[in-house]
Amino acid sequence: MTMKLYCFGESGNAYKAALPLELSGLDWEPVYVDFFGGETRTPAYRAINEMGEVPVLVDGARTLTQSGAIQMYVSDKSGKFGGATPDEAREIMRWVLWDNNKLCGQAGMTRFLMNFLPEEKRPAEVIAWYQGRLKTVYSILDTHLEGRDWIVGDSITNADFSCCGYLFYPEPFGFVRADWPNIDRWLSNIEGLDGWKHPYDLMPGSPADRA
């Protein structure tokens, strides 16, 4: 049975789930969610996910929400990306939790404030505050990647999928790859994987569709 991932291309959190699905070899398909049209606030969507968010993975009678939980499920089904040892699995979870709180949690909000609000409603002081915090976060990741191809272990894992979630997007939010050489090299490693796709190619929905 084909799994369905409720998502849209502009969501970095959805990309964190869509990319491991695409590279896992499992049978799946994206289901477009009209986030900007208010779909996630409708009773029909809340019946799928009471939290009113994307992504949502539906596999038969099982429904999963939150990108980290979906990543773990994909690993359980495919035997990939979850770490080679219990110690690696715990380290992967450490970076997934760090990302959710420190990296993509703040990068996603900054990107939203800078690009998806009307220009007159963009809070300059809040954006500058987020960007200042993100410089520290990028520095932590860049330092960790010194001499490493992947965040944990010798191959791509859910730690990489989680932390790269927003870093491939072209909209400005204060992240410039060239400023962080180890992150830049790591993102190139991900781009070089067989089957890799940019979020706007992997999932339906992009700013161009709403222009």
Q: How confident is the model at residue 210 (pLDDT cuts 50, 70, 90)?
A: confident
Q: Are 156 and 150 in contact (CB under 8 A)?
A: yes
**Which residues, 6+ apart, have CB-to-CB distance to 12 below 8 Å?**
104, 107, 108, 111, 165, 166, 169, 199
CB atoms within 10 A of CB 9: 23
Which residue is listed with tokens 């962080």?
180
Q: Residue 6's pLDDT is what?
A: 98
In the chain, the percentage of residues whose pLDDT exceeds 90 is 97
Mean pLDDT for the chain overall:
97
Q: Distance (Å, rounded) from C-alpha 21 to C-alpha 127?
A: 32
**pLDDT tens, residue by residue, 99-115:** 999 999 999 999 999 99
How confident is the model over 60-64, as a mean pLDDT? Answer: 97
How confident is the model over 43-56, as a mean pLDDT? Answer: 97
**pLDDT tens, residue by residue, 107-155:** 999 999 999 999 999 999 999 999 999 999 999 999 999 999 999 999 9
Q: How confident is the model at residue 38 (pLDDT cuts 50, 70, 90)?
A: very high
Q: Residue 105's pLDDT is what?
A: 92
Strand order in the sheet with 28-32: 28-32, 3-7, 56-59, 62-65
Identify the CA nearest to 149 among candidates 183, 110, 102: 183
Q: Is the pLDDT of residue 41 over 90?
A: yes
Q: Is the pLDDT of residue 211 over 80?
A: no
Identify the CA nearest to 141 among candidates 159, 153, 155, 158: 159
Q: pTM surpassing 0.85?
A: yes
H/E segment holding residue 139: helix 124-144
Q: Residue 1's pLDDT is what?
A: 87
Q: How confident is the model at residue 53 (pLDDT cuts 50, 70, 90)?
A: very high
Q: Residue 193's pLDDT is what?
A: 98
How confident is the model over 43-72, as a mean pLDDT? Answer: 97
Residues in the chain: 211
Identify the structural domains of the chain with CATH numbers, from first to last.
Answer: 3-80+196-210 (3.40.30.10), 86-191 (1.20.1050.10)
Q: Distance (Å, rounded) from C-alpha 46 to C-alpha 193?
A: 35
Q: Are 158 and 100 in contact (CB under 8 A)?
A: no
Q: Is the pLDDT of residue 180 over 90?
A: yes
Sign of CA dihedral 33, 38, 39, 41: positive
